[in-house]
Amino acid sequence: MHSKTIDKTLLKEINKRRTFAIISHPDAGKTTLTEKLLLFGGAIQQAGAVKSRKIARAATSDFLSIEQERGISVSSSVMKFNYKGYEINLLDTPGHKDFSEDTYRVLTAVDCAIMIIDNAKGVEPQTQKLMEVCRMRNTPIITFINKLDREGMEPLDIFEDIEDKLQIECVPLSWPIGMGKRFKGVYNLGKKELGIFSPGYTPKDDDGVFIDDLADPRLDEMISETQAEQLRNDVDLINGASEPFDMDLYLNGTQTPVFFGSAINNFGVREMLDAFVEIAPPPGKRHTATRDVEPHENEFSGFTFKIQANMDPEHRDRIAFFRICSGKFTKGMKVRHHRIGKEIKLSNATIFMAQERNNIEEAYPGDIIGIHNHGTIKIGDTFTSKEPLKFLGIPSFAPEHFRRVILKDPLKAKALHKGLVQLSEEGAIQVFSPLLGNLHIVGAVGVLQFDVTMARLKAEYNVNASYETIDFSVARWVTCEDEKMLKEFKKKNESYLTLDSEGWLTFLTTSEYQLGFTMEEWPQIVFHKTREHNQC
């Protein structure tokens, strides 16, 4: 069904690509590390200073005004840069738990992830949740222990914490020399290279001192006799007790190589990036409902994992973020949009550098491109040059929090509806219309989404609205093979039933107990907690 001959140029381009996300708990330093990677890749000349929750200069990867005000990332950005001949696609993700749904979907579009752990705090709850998603897909993980310029846990204690909470084996590829005020640098265990710490240094290619033998007396001069002795003992211990790095175990997600550093001071970042481009996997095969798709297939295929409205406030645009899975994209090519059964022309695809966009002539598997969307593209949509395919694993989660939207100006009802529909297409919120009455009920995985929604309705749609609490706390999509039974269920439960913005019948109720009671009463009705996008 697909071509057997492998295009060598295509293969070469695939092998050059690295597509990854950064995952962490809020405040572990994700935005800072993102910027430093862009700095090392030459994609930006100056990093935005992100200090506590005040932003002196808006961080490069945060483009929504509410992100800039609160100092948090609430939507995922896509950034492309080149490093040592590799084409790198970096997907920045929201760290805040209230935006986890966006992060889950971003993780469906990457081939590996960098996990940041705060040296002082160890593994935190949001990191555990994100790790569960990575484990579902066996995503390879590289770990960066951040904030070594501050006091924190001892390296072996952090390893124990990671192995205990995340069930993944740690293998150090670099090792810290002291921490906090005693932090002297990082020793690269593979290259036997010592990086001497100086706060906020600008990286150069000739940085680092080669120490072939740790017994070298120069080591004592560079750091101190005490710390040199400590490093020798630590390295002996690692060599004796630690498992060696195993590429296969790393690629199947059971072992993580670990690096230490201080992202805010640019330190330890280059060592990790150098290893990353060598060991991170190139784009791999992707699962569809009918078969696995290999990246080197000549026929083009890809899927949408994110919609972002109003990235450019001047133009009120919507961009569909699109992961290329196989074949080559060329400007102006025609592809089939399978959900709506139409052929479309991809004439103005863009690549991203946070807010900056560039039109693109060609792109390859692993690349993330943006397609202008006039409301026809939804999350989970598949596009191919021929064969009908449906890429799997792009989830929609039942909301856990609900609010009734109150419109302050009745003349803005149309604009409110449009704004809510467009924001729900991004997957950040879900909008439910009760079968009885004309309310707008908004559901979200996290409560901060409601504030973001109201702020964006005002800024982007000129709609003044507020919200109030509502009794519902549980939602489930409902299906039933027996149409007569479904009709009966709808008749008896009309006051609890709504349609979501895609038209799926959804049961809202006040508690898990009430849900359990209803499920017992209607055993033939199936209640879904998650569903594939555009498919129930």
User: What pLDDT was estimated at residue 522?
Assistant: 96
DSSP SS3 for 436: coil
Q: Do domains 19-79+96-279 and 286-384 have the same CATH topology?
A: yes
Cα dihedral 477, 481, 486, 487, rounded to 10, equals 130
* DSSP letter assigned to residue 163: H
| Chain mean pLDDT for the chain | 84
User: What pLDDT was estimated at residue 428?
Assistant: 74
- Residue type for position 124: E
pLDDT at 60 over 50: no
pLDDT tens readout for residues 272-297? 999 999 999 999 999 998 999 999 99
User: What pLDDT was estimated at residue 1?
Assistant: 47
pLDDT at 118 over 90: yes
pLDDT tens readout for residues 398-449? 888 999 999 999 899 999 998 998 888 777 789 999 998 888 999 987 788 8
* DSSP letter assigned to residue 193: E
Q: Does the 286-384 domain belong in CATH 3.20.20.70?
A: no
Closest CA to 283 of 341, 326, 251: 326
pLDDT at 327 over 90: yes
User: Mean per-residue pLDDT for 16-40?
Assistant: 88
Euclidean distance between CA atoms 204 and 308, whole angstroms:
36
Query: Per residue in 292-326, is it b (16+ CB within 10 Å) or e — as a string?
Result: ebbbbbebbbbbbbbbbbbbeeeeeebbbbbbbbb
pLDDT tens readout for residues 152-192? 999 999 999 999 999 999 999 999 999 999 998 898 888 88
Residues 6+ away with beta carbon under 8 Å from 294? 285, 326
Closest CA to 111 of 280, 274, 275, 263: 280
User: What pLDDT was estimated at residue 63?
Assistant: 46
User: What pLDDT was estimated at residue 136?
Assistant: 78
User: What pLDDT was estimated at residue 320?
Assistant: 87
Q: Give me the CATH topology for the region 19-79+96-279.
A: Rossmann fold (3.40.50)
Range with top average pLDDT, 186-190, 210-214, 249-253, 314-318: 249-253
Residues 6+ away with beta carbon under 8 Å from 32? 47, 50, 263, 264
Please give, one letter per residue, the 3-state secondary structure of 232-243: HHHHHHHHHHCC
Give whole-number Cα distances, 10 to 139, 280, 315, 316, 465, in Å.
24, 19, 35, 35, 50
β-sheet bridge partners, residue 96: none
Tell which wins on pLDDT, 91 or 146: 146
Locate 59 and state its tokens. Answer: 């961080």
pLDDT bucket at 262, cuts 50 / 70 / 90: very high
The pTM of the full predicted model, rounded to 2 decimals, is 0.78
From the number of C-beta atoms within 10 Å of its C-beta (0-12, 13-18, 19+), residue 156 rates as: middle
* DSSP letter assigned to residue 122: B
Residues 6+ away with beta carbon under 8 Å from 355? 60, 63, 311
Tell which wins on pLDDT, 340 or 394: 340
pLDDT bucket at 311, cuts 50 / 70 / 90: low
Euclidean distance between CA atoms 397 and 430, whole angstroms:
10
Please give, one letter per residue, the 3-state secondary structure of 472-525: CCEEEEEECCCHHHHHHHHHHCHHHEEEECCCCEEEEECCHHHHHHHHHHCCCC
Residues 6+ away with beta carbon under 8 Å from 407? 413, 416, 463, 464, 465
CB of 35 closer than 8 Å to CB of 48: yes
pLDDT tens readout for residues 461-497? 899 999 999 999 999 999 999 999 999 999 999 999 9
CB of 237 closer than 8 Å to CB of 188: no
pLDDT tens readout for residues 492-523? 999 999 999 888 999 999 999 999 999 999 99
Q: Give me the CATH topology for the region 396-532.
A: Alpha-Beta Plaits (3.30.70)
Helix segments in 396-468, DSSP class H: 413-425, 448-461
Would you report the helix, strand and coil content of the chain in percent, each value rounded to 5? 30, 30, 40
User: What pLDDT was estimated at residue 64?
Assistant: 52
Domain boundaries, the chain: 19-79+96-279, 286-384, 396-532
DSSP element (H, E) containing 97:
none
